[in-house]
Amino acid sequence: MKPTRPALLLGLALAPGALAYGAVDLWQTRGTPPGVPVLAPFVLLLLAVVALSTGLSLRARFRAQRERRVDARPVDPLTAARAVVFAKASSLVGSLVAGLYGGYGLWLWLHLDNDARREQAARCGFSVGAAILLILAGLFLERICRIPDDPDEPPGHPRGSSTPR
């Protein structure tokens, strides 16, 4: 699995943002757009805390293994693989959600006619902030689970290949 690229995350945020802005603008001509759930930023923050705590825990366990401490608990490779998948999913989903609520929040911010829209715009802003924290926590966890380069391999040598090319 390759590391997540910032350009991918930016693209995944901009596309749903533009779609959300257009969809809300179209929806407004047909009726009232849907509301932003009150729990949206809290769920995103909870996921960010889980990703961050997993990263901190794995970082401490990897450090203890590198230092060859007696009390070091080894990290199961399957656990590390699951953490990488969770990290990748966290950053991708966080990017999509940030774009979605960002587009909706931008539309609401440009049309602040009443208190209900101001409240919805604030929820969108909090959701975007929580989604950015989820992205950062996912990228941190992904970095913690990265396999270090082998100092014995020559530069440019593909990992996992049994014969040099």
Which domain range does residue 130 map to?
Answer: 13-24+38-144
Residue 142: exposure state from Cβ atoms within 10 A (0-12, 13-18, ≥19)? buried
Q: What total of structural domains would you count in the chain?
A: 1
pLDDT per position in the chain (165 positions), as tens? 788 899 999 999 999 999 999 999 888 888 888 888 999 999 999 999 999 999 999 999 998 888 888 888 888 889 999 999 999 999 999 999 999 999 999 998 988 888 888 899 999 999 999 999 999 999 999 999 887 665 565 555 555 444 333
- Count other Cβ atoms within 10 Å, centred on residue 48: 22
Prediction pTM value: 0.84
Asked if residue 64 is part of any domain, the answer here is yes
Asked if residue 31 is part of any domain, the answer here is no
Eight-state DSSP code of residue 162: S
pLDDT at position 34 is 83
pLDDT at position 78 is 93
Task: Kindly compute the dihedral angle of the four CA atoms of residues 42, 90, 121, 30, in this order, to the nearest 10 degrees.
Answer: -120
